Amino acid sequence: MGSLVGREPQLGRDRLVAELVPSPRFADVSFASYEPSPDEPSQAAAVTELEAHAERVRDAQASRGQKEGGLRRLLRGRPTTPQGAPGVYLDGGFGVGKTHLLAATWHAVPGPKAFGTFVEYTNLVGALGFAEAVRALSPMTLVAIDEFELDDPGDTVLMARLLRELVDAGVRLAATSNTLPGSLGEGRFAADDFLREIQAVGSNFDVVRIEGEDYRHRGLPDPPPPLPDDELEARARAVGDGAVLDDVDALIDHLARVHPSRYGALLDGVTHVFWRGLRPLADQNVALRTVVLADRMYDRSIPLAVSGASLADLFTPEMLAGGYRKKYSRALSRLTSLARDGA
């Protein structure tokens, strides 16, 4: 049994870029393995739209990589230059299969290609610098961005610049979000002051809407109740080497010292996570770092068990009503799923 506190992973450029792939949870998904709800026709329609986008990406890559474009155009009977916006933007609520479809799109196109969450891309720029991040991503056939959100004005300008550079380099895009492109930034900052950047982001995408209920909560109960400390510790000891047991306050302090781009590496070799002394998070920065860790845990399907407060109370009512409410709600949905696995 170990602890996340004290781990200090160091990642170079090559590993940061190499890790921009779907998580193990989505390593083998496809359009065929997605099961659209018969009650939600938008789900089947989204599959059709994304399959068409994957074909446009393949055409774009062929055009980009071959000099005999004219001959190819004659042989295939259609232009080699893809039509429509350079990206597709899948908009919908939590747990409707957006990440599954995004990963299926990624799997359906040739490489080199990149897949990551919005936060992973902003962290990549933070770790490498803007120019180096552009150099790393410009050769990609497709850059897939999961859970697209603009958290602050800096991110707005950053992502508008990054997407412009990538599109100019011939990179195709695919993204998911629970916020329409024109509404990014709402409730978080003076979005009207950054309307040009927001519009620039939106202009890169054709929007596809997908409806449905969160599959993680279909007929399932609330998070399991927290365990007594002694039972939590006994379970961690029973798991053995793959378990990490951390006091929440110490973990919070440690996360502040580790760059979020390294949170995935922080979980290398971890099979079970145990949090002792969970409490509501009153500080926004702490809460946002916890969201990133929760996402990396969910990517790896790592079961979770806690003592102290209930997971349902992790984020305060003020946070769940504020500008980051969708981010916190997604994290609660994912942590609840992991806690059920842990139970």
**What digits encode the pLDDT tens for the residues 128-180?**
899 999 999 999 999 999 987 765 666 777 888 898 999 999 999 998 876 64
Coil, strand or helix at 173: strand
| pLDDT in the model for residue 159 | 81
More confident residue, 36 or 219: 36
Task: Indicate the number of domains in the chain.
Answer: 2
Q: How many CA atoms lie within 13 A of 184 on its CB side?
A: 31
Residues 284/313, Cβ–Cβ less than 8 Å? no
Which token pair is 104?
Answer: 């299926």
Domain that holds residue 87: 31-213
In this structure, the answer to whether residues 51 and 166 fall within a common structural domain is yes
Asked if residues 325 and 178 have their Cβ atoms less than 8 Å apart, the reply is no
Residue 60, in any domain of the structure: yes
**239 & 106 share domain:** no
- Please indicate, yes or no, whether residues 142 and 268 belong to a single structural domain of this protein: no
Same domain? For 201 and 231 the reply is no
Q: Are residues 181 and 287 in the same domain?
A: no
22 domain-assigned: no
CATH code assigned at 235: 3.40.50
Confidence band, pLDDT 50/70/90 cuts, at residue 330 = confident
Measured CA to CA in angstroms, residue 51 lies from 32, 42, 44, 95 at distances of 10, 14, 11, 20
Mean pLDDT over 254-280 rounds to 91
Span between the terminal Cα atoms of the chain, in Å: 18
Domain boundary among 169, 194, 213: 213
Residue 17 lies in a domain: no
Q: pLDDT for 77-120, tens place per residue? A: 444 344 567 888 888 876 688 899 999 999 999 989 999 988 88
Check which CATH number belongs to the domain holding 40 and give it. Answer: 3.40.50.300
Residue 127 clears pLDDT 70, i.e. is over it: yes
For residue 14, being part of any structural domain is answered with no
The pLDDT, as a whole number, for residue 150 is 62
One domain for residues 207 and 245: no
* Amino acid making up residue 95: G
- Same domain assignment for residues 177 and 69: yes
Tokens encoding 245: 């047991």
- 3 state DSSP class of 160: helix
> Do 58 and 198 belong together in one domain?
yes
CB neighbour list of residue 154: distance below 8 Å, 6 or more residues apart: none
Q: Would you say residue 92 lies in a domain? A: yes
What residues contact residue 95 under an 8 Å CB cut-off, 6+ apart?
Answer: 212, 213, 214, 215, 216, 217, 333
Whether residue 6 contacts residue 254, with contact meaning beta carbons closer than 8 Å, is answered with yes
Query: Following DSSP, what letter does each residue of 192-253 receive, concatenated?
Result: GGGHHHHHHHHTTEEEEEE----GGGTT--SPPPPBPHHHHHHHHHHH-TTEEEEEHHHHHH
Per-residue pLDDT for 225 more than 70? yes
Say if residue 183 is in the same domain as residue 227.
Answer: no
Mean pLDDT, residues 221-240 taken together: 91
Of 167, 198, 213, the one marking the end of a domain is 213
* pLDDT tens-digit map of 52-84: 999 999 988 877 666 445 544 444 544 434 456
In a domain, 316, yes or no: yes
- pLDDT score for 343: 79
User: Which of 189, 213, 237 corresponds to the end of one domain?
Assistant: 213
> 257 or 6, which is more confident?
257
In terms of domains, do 52 and 139 share one?
yes
Euclidean distance between CA atoms 161 and 200, whole angstroms: 9
pTM: 0.69
pLDDT of residue 73: 47
Q: What is the pLDDT of residue 265?
A: 86
Query: Alpha carbon of 315 to those of 28, 94, 329: distances in Å?
Result: 33, 17, 9
Is there a domain that residue 13 lies in?
no
pLDDT tier, 219 (very low <50, low <70, confident <90, very high otherwise): very low
pLDDT of residue 226: 95
In single-letter form, the type of residue at position 331 comes to A
Mean of per-residue pLDDT scores for the chain: 83
For 6-60, what is each residue's pLDDT tens digit?
888 777 778 888 889 998 889 899 999 998 888 889 999 999 999 999 999 998 8
Put residue 192 in one of left, alpha, beta given phi > 0 → left and psi -120 to 50 → alpha.
alpha
178 within domain boundaries: yes
Could you tell me the pLDDT band of residue 235, with boundaries at 50, 70 and 90?
very high
Both 176 and 224 in a single domain?
Answer: no
Report d(CA 315, CA 292) in Å as an integer: 14
Residues 140 and 233 in one domain: no
The answer to whether 243 touches 1, Cβ cutoff 8 Å, is yes
- Does 304 score more than 90 pLDDT? yes
